[in-house]
Copies of this chain bind each other. A is one copy, B any other.
């Protein structure tokens, strides 16, 4: 457990984080900040928090950033930080999708590790160029598919890896919400505005915003890659240019079959990310709205309820837990786990040692690319009448 304090003893300081995006009125930026803070391995010291310079300044002041590290834009920030002795160890990019790639490039160029929100980019080409750049740089490039930070998601993956399910047959995954069941984007709600605007969100609506999370979870837990998909994207709310519901059939390279459903119009559902996975020898089920329990059914035996940090949960779950079983951890702790793992990776480099192996589960630019390829395949398949399309 990471609870007993920072593990940065040898470093004798917290890691320094900068942030691009996430100013006043933003949602995910604030989540990243809590996540970075929670396990006490990071401190936020610099930011280009808005594309609007005034708001960037005010937002920086809100967060008690030193005035000389409140930047007007990400280029200025990359330049400004590059040559400081106390420069940031990593940058968190939490802008709308279309700005991910340019910002990431700027910081890679400056030799700074990157933590980027998903989806990685708005096109596959851009994603692949970015990956190449990341590769060449040798820097850490994490993509915050944050649900992989949930202890019991990791427990599930470990159980699949350990063969407790046998050969995987079926993977059902869904992420359903209702916040876009009406035309919220017309009301001035910022989150809704950019997420339904192709110029900022890219070519995908629900499939990009939440479908990618579901897709990432399916591959992460099953330890299988999807090879082909057949997708039916649909827009239910009139006048909305992007999909708000998607149904996708999945064929995994291993022969497993699956389904993915994402929706932002499922009235009565808030953040219903759920995965169910069945193999020859067992089944696993997990739901992010009640994330502290994993249902495991071994073939021919009664299902078991494995709780986070409780009996039957192993190293992957325990090392990502802070508090005892029965005391719920949630979304922020799962997100924090990525930040702690990235810190571990960075510190291991600084100290010339191997990082703690489980810290390497953080999604990288590779998973980022998978997400973008998934989006493109889904959009293309849907346009062709749900034709089977390779990812």
Contacts and interface: CB of A to CB of B under 8 A. Distances in A.
Interface of A: 3-6, 8-9, 12-14, 24-25, 27, 30-31, 33-34, 37-40, 59, 61-64, 165, 169-170, 172, 177-179, 181-182, 230, 232, 234, 236, 245, 247, 249, 251, 257-259, 261, 263, 265-272, 276, 278-283, 285, 288-292, 295-307, 310-312, 322-333, 385-386, 388
B322 A332 contact: yes
Contacts of A170: 236, 245, 263, 265-266
Nearest to A30: B3
Given A170-B265, A331-B327, A333-B332, A64 B322 contact: no
Contact of A13 (B64, B251, B290, B301): B64
A37 B6 CA distance: 13
Contacts of A297: 178, 267-269
Contact of A169 (B6, B63, B265): B265
A268 B285 contact: yes
A24 B5 CA distance: 9
- The list of the 10 closest CB pairs from A to B, nearest first, reads A268-B297, A270-B326, A271-B326, A328-B330, A268-B283, A267-B283, A302-B312, A327-B331, A302-B304, A330-B330
A279 B236 CA distance: 10
B267 A3 contact: no
30 contacts: A3-B31, A3-B34, A4-B25, A4-B62, A5-B33, A5-B63, A6-B64, A13-B64, A30-B322, A34-B38, A37-B37, A165-B267, A170-B236, A181-B280, A230-B230, A230-B386, A234-B257, A247-B258, A249-B386, A266-B278, A268-B278, A268-B283, A268-B285, A272-B326, A292-B330, A296-B302, A300-B311, A302-B310, A302-B311, A328-B330
Contacts of A59: 5
Given A234-B257, A270-B325, A24 B40 contact: no
Given A4-B62, A323-B332, A328-B291, A299 B169 contact: no
Given A285-B268, A301-B312, A169 B14 contact: no
A328 to B, nearest CB: 4
A4 B24 contact: yes
A40 B31 CA distance: 12
Nearest to A328: B330
A303 B300 contact: no
